Amino acid sequence: MFSVAKEKVKPIISIDVDENEAVFQSTLKNLKEPFLFFKRQNHLFAYVLLENHKKEQVTIASLLEEAKSIDSICHLSDQISLPVLFQIIGEPFAIVRGEDGLPAGYIRREDVLAELFRQENKSVDLLKIILTSIPMGIFVLDREKQIINYNEAGLKMIRSTAEKIKNLPADEIFSRTHLDKVFATGKTLLNHLVIKNEIGILVDYSPILNYKNEVDGIIIVAQDLPMVEEMAMEIEYIKDLNKDLNAILSSIYDEILVVNNKGELLRYSENFIRDFWNVDLKLLIGKNILELEDQGLFTPSVTRLVLEKRKKVSVVQETKAGRKILAVGNPVFNEKNELDRIIIASRDITETTKLKSELHEIKKISEQYKKELDDFKSKDRFLKKLIYCSPKMEMIINQAKKIADFSSTVLLYGESGVGKEVIAQAIHQLGRRQAKPFLKLNCGAIPENLLESELFGYSKGSFTGADKNGKEGYFKQADGGILFLDEIGEMPVHLQVKLLRVLQEQEIIPIGSTTPIKVNVQIIAATNKKLEKMVEEGTFREDLFYRLNVIPIYIPPLRERTEDISLLAFHFLQQLNEKYERNYHLTPDAINVLEFYPWPGNVRELQNIIERLVVTAEHASIDAEFVSQFLSMGFEHKKMKPVITRVIPLQEAVDYVEEQLIVMAMNQYKTTTKAAKALGISQSSVSRKYQKILNEKNMKMENLSTL
Give a yes or no: residue 368 inside a domain.
Answer: no
Out of 256-270, 365-379, 440-454, 484-498, which region has the weakest mean confidence (pLDDT)? Answer: 365-379
Question: Among the listed ranges 420-424, 569-573, 669-673, which one has the minimum average pLDDT value?
Answer: 669-673
630 in a structural domain? yes
CATH number at residue 664: 1.10.8.60
Mean confidence (pLDDT) of the chain: 76
CATH number at residue 329: 3.30.450.20
Whether residue 219 sits in one domain with residue 277: no
Q: What pLDDT shows up at residue 380?
A: 64
Within a domain: 363: no
Q: What are the phi and psi torsion angles at 90 (to 5°)?
A: -95, -15
What range does the domain containing 75 cover?
6-109
* Residue 360 resides in a domain: no
Can you give the pLDDT at residue 609? 92
Q: Using one digit for the tens of pLDDT, what is the confidence trace for 276-295?
A: 666 667 777 888 877 777 77
75: confidence class by pLDDT, cuts 50, 70, 90: very low
Identify the domain boundary among 199, 230, 261. Answer: 230
Same domain, 547 and 600: no
| Ordered alpha helix ranges (H), 290-438 | 290-294, 302-309, 353-383, 391-403, 420-430
pLDDT above 90: residue 107: no
Q: Is residue 652 part of a domain?
A: yes
CB count in 10 Å sphere of residue 226: 8
For 9-24, give one letter per residue: b (16+ CB within 10 A) or e.
bbebeebeeeeeeeeb
Peptide bond into 510 cis (omega under 30): no
- Which pLDDT belongs to residue 676? 83
Inside any domain, residue 202: yes
**541 shares its domain with 462:** yes
Considering its fold, how many domains does the chain have in total?
Answer: 5
Q: For residue 385, which phi and psi values (nearest 5 degrees)? A: -105, -25
Query: Which are the contacts of 103, defined by CB distance < 8 A and separation ≥ 6?
Result: 12, 40, 45, 47, 73, 75, 95, 96, 97
Share of the chain above pLDDT 90, in %: 16
Q: Which of 556, 580, 611 is the last residue of a domain?
A: 556
One domain, residues 102 and 159: no
Residue 20 belongs to a domain: yes
Same domain, 508 and 423: yes
**Average pLDDT rounded to a whole number, residues 420-444:** 89
Asked if 408 and 534 sit in the same domain, the reply is: yes
Give per-residue pLDDT as tens, 11-70: 444 555 555 667 667 666 665 544 444 444 444 444 433 444 455 666 666 656 655 544
With contact defined as beta carbons under 8 Å apart, do 34 and 51 qualify?
A: yes
Q: Which one of 535, 556, 577 terminates a domain?
A: 556
Cα–chain center distance at 107? 66
E strands of 98-158, at which residues?
A: 103-108, 137-141, 147-150
Do 144 and 281 lie in a common domain? no
Q: What is the maximum span of the chain, computed from C-alpha positions, in angstroms? A: 157
Q: How confident is the model at residue 118 (pLDDT cuts 50, 70, 90)?
A: low
Please provide residue 209's backbone torsions phi and psi, each rounded to the nearest 5 degrees: -100, 140
Most confident of 4-8, 398-402, 524-528, 626-630: 524-528
Pairwise pLDDT comparison (377 vs 603), residue with the higher score:
603
Do 308 and 338 lie in one domain? The reply is: yes
Do 267 and 169 sit in the same domain of this protein?
Answer: no
- Helix, strand, or coil (residue 128): helix
Find the CATH number of the domain harbouring 27: 3.10.580
Question: Are residue 543 and residue 585 in the same domain, yes or no?
Answer: no
DSSP secondary structure string for all residues of 162-196:
HHHHTT-BGGGTS-HHHHHHHHHH---EEEEEEEE
Same-domain status, 330 and 440: no
Look at residue 542 in the predicted model and tell me its pLDDT. 92
Q: 182 near 207, Cβ under 8 Å? A: yes
Residues 411 and 538 grouped into a single domain: yes
Q: In this model, does residue 162 exceed pLDDT 90?
A: no
Q: Please indicate, yes or no, if residue 238 is contained in any of the structural domains.
A: no
